[in-house]
Amino acid sequence: MSLRLEAGLTTLHELAPPGAYERRGATVVNPGDLYPAFRGPYLEDLAKLEQPYGPTLGLLLSDALVIGQGSVVTRNGLLIRESCRAILEQSRTPPGLRPVGPGWICELPEPVHREGRISILAKAPWWRNYGHWLVDSAALLALVVDRLRGNDIQIVVGKQIAPAMRRVVAETLGIVAPGIPVVEHDDSEPVMFSRLYYVTPTSVSPLFKLPEAVRALRGKLVTEAPRPARRLYVQRDAQGPRTLLNEPDVLRVAASYGFEVVRPERLGLREQAQLFSEAAVVMGVKGAGLTNLVFAPRDSAAVVLSPSNWADSFFWDLAGQLGITYVEVVGEAVDGVAEPPNSPFTIDLARLDEALARATGRAPAMPVPRSEEASSRPEHAGLFYRDCLRSLHQILRPDTYLEIGCLDGETLALAECAAIGIDAQFQPTIRVPSRAPAILLYQMPSDAFFQRFDPAALLGRGIDLAFIDGMHLVENALRDFINVERSCHPGSVVVLHDCLPLNQRMASRDRADAERGGPAQFSGWWTGDVWKLLAILPRYRPDLSVRACDAPPTGLVVVQNLNPDDRTLNDAYEAIVAEFRDPADEGRLFKDVLARIEIMETTALLQTLGNRP
């Protein structure tokens, strides 16, 4: 009898041919800070721009035993070493086995027998880890399931205990393998499968991830964003391994570059994929959350923060093959607190600034040119404006919400109440609030909406919270405010965006003029002249409470004490526009507004709103 038959190998498929892929090179800003024991081998790894690989095979095995973290033993007692390679490479014994001479003896109880269906093994070492689940299991299933769907199949996964990972696994299977039965395998339970479909690894840490599998996973989850522009700082919900000790300082630097803080652990898999697909730059501590780079656009950038006693090229391999610029900043590890690679660490802020400059294409700590110095202000350093809006929703808990200028729905999606979204041209992939009981979308200019509809009638009551982010011209913004206030009540809150530009050029009425020059770090920024509302509202409506806060990138203004019966602004509209649209000395007006306005810290403003009666 041949060895193939003795092992129970009945069918062999080539799922992907041998090949090679190229990686984009990596930059380590301060490689000299790595521990000497790791530095040489790590830099050698980062010099390997080409990754050859062999064929990926699918093996249908009769009476194969699955033990531990997905280790496979054939019916004639041969351990498939690739099924537990990650464990063996750490000189550890696969769970359930005891080494004897050159081999192992299984010490688990008599196995459970599962007959019938072809069982696709999607369990691999470290399967409880989100990152390994994505690249080791989800990508494998995305590659394989559709090819076998005509057969009577089921999927074998690890038995997740953590609720968050159970949800991720369930959502993954619903996306890549809808309708396919699932078997949960406990590490302590040996199971003999009458027909086991074993796939040679599509990912071998740290330097191999099968391109066909990566593409298959992206194809299931990613809708390509037309112009990825978001800058994401990935933050963990709780302190865990590799704690960044000076994270508040890091966040201040990140905010100056326009980063928003995101917490992927709070999101479902599809939401995480969509979030990262919209990113121009991703920054975070090296760890599982950055495996979401698998969803990031080509030509985006990753800024990875890592302790000096850990050198691992896993994330560079993933980013590099996708054409993502990879920049790493090595932080000083604190020894004796936790075993490497889990040591807490700190990041040098000057090194971080250098890394962010590389990733974003702007000069580090670039001084403002003298010609614009007098009419410029420092970059805002508070909570990113979307995070600030999210906090406003949580503090105010509005029953009704209206937003002008939704675009892709990123801020509209924060609503958990009845909501109205207005935009002249929504993006094709607009996000809508997942927890809102009712959502009304109106694709038309805001003027046309208010001529035809009464928001209070549509919502069944007045507007509790509104966000105005429409046309960036003072006459439009003023009309939007007038129209919104009519449907408000004395306890309403109206939030205005883009009223705190950082220099006069981005505050121009002419978008082309704003985008032609100015400091490099603000290239492409345009707020228009809606900042003039900070001169108009206090003069014409001193009864209003108008407070500005330092929410990057261009500020938020919170307006309260609204009066839907007041007609002052409406009656004076033509005179106001005549005065402010083209003032005799716009530069002087801009400087006066900058000098007069008091800008609160976002945290202080949110605390004030939280304490209101």
Structural domain contains residue 510: yes
Say if 347 falls within a structural domain. yes
- Give the containing element (helix H, strand E) for 170: helix 163-176
The DSSP element (H or E) to which 345 belongs, if any, is strand 345-346
Boundaries of domain holding 413: 385-610
* DSSP helix/strand/coil, 478: helix
Record the tokens describing residue 159, joined without a space.
């038995």
Q: What is the pLDDT of residue 106?
A: 63
Cα-Cα-Cα-Cα torsion 315, 318, 320, 323, nearest 10 degrees, comes to -130
Q: Are residues 448 and 542 in the same domain?
A: yes
Region 389-404 average pLDDT:
95
The per-residue pLDDT for range 569-602, each reduced to its tens digit, is 999 999 999 999 888 788 888 888 877 888 998 8
List the CATH number of the domain containing 497.
3.40.50.150
Return the SS3 of 45.
helix
Closest CA to 413 of 396, 382, 390: 390
Closest by CA position to 288, among listed 159, 148, 128: 128
- Output the pLDDT for position 516: 55
- In this structure, are 431 and 403 located in the same domain? yes
Residue 39 belongs to a domain: no
Tell me the pLDDT band of 429, cut-offs 50, 70 and 90. low
Q: Are residues 437 and 349 in the same domain?
A: no
Tell me which residue has tokens 């990875």. Answer: 304
Q: How many domains does the chain have?
A: 3
Both 243 and 355 in a single domain? yes
pLDDT of residue 330: 93
Which of these ranges, 21-30, 443-452, 520-529, has the smallest mean pLDDT? 520-529
Same domain? For 188 and 62 the reply is yes
Together in a domain, 488 and 551? yes
Percent of the chain with pLDDT over 90: 48
Least confident range of 317-321, 520-524, 608-612: 520-524
| Average pLDDT estimate for 532-559 | 93
In this structure, the answer to whether residues 414 and 544 fall within a common structural domain is yes
Residue 205, in any domain of the structure: no
> Based on the domain organization, do 330 and 420 belong to the same domain?
no
pLDDT tier, 513 (very low <50, low <70, confident <90, very high otherwise): low
What does the DSSP assignment read for 234-245? E--SS--SS-BT
Residue 197 has pLDDT above 60, yes or no: yes
Task: Examine the domain organization and report whether 77 and 166 are in the same domain.
Answer: yes
Q: Which residue has the higher pLDDT, 435 or 490?
A: 490
Average of per-residue pLDDT across 524-549? 91
**Region 214-223 average pLDDT:** 90
How does the average pLDDT of the chain come out, rounded? Answer: 86
Query: Domain end: 365, 394, 420, which one?
Result: 365
Indicate the Cα dihedral angle 517, 518, 520, 525, nearest 10°: -90
Asked if residue 478 lies in contact with residue 534, where contact means CB atoms within 8 angstroms, the answer is no
Assess whether 361 and 395 both reside in one domain.
no
Asked if residue 542 is part of any domain, the answer here is yes
Among 146, 169, 199, give the residue marking a domain's end.
199
C-alpha span between 484 and 497 (Å, rounded): 14
Least confident of 48-62, 135-149, 292-306, 499-513: 499-513
With cut-offs at 50, 70 and 90, classify the pLDDT of residue 368: very low
**pLDDT (tens digit per residue) in 442-497:** 999 999 999 999 999 999 999 999 999 999 999 999 999 999 999 999 999 999 99
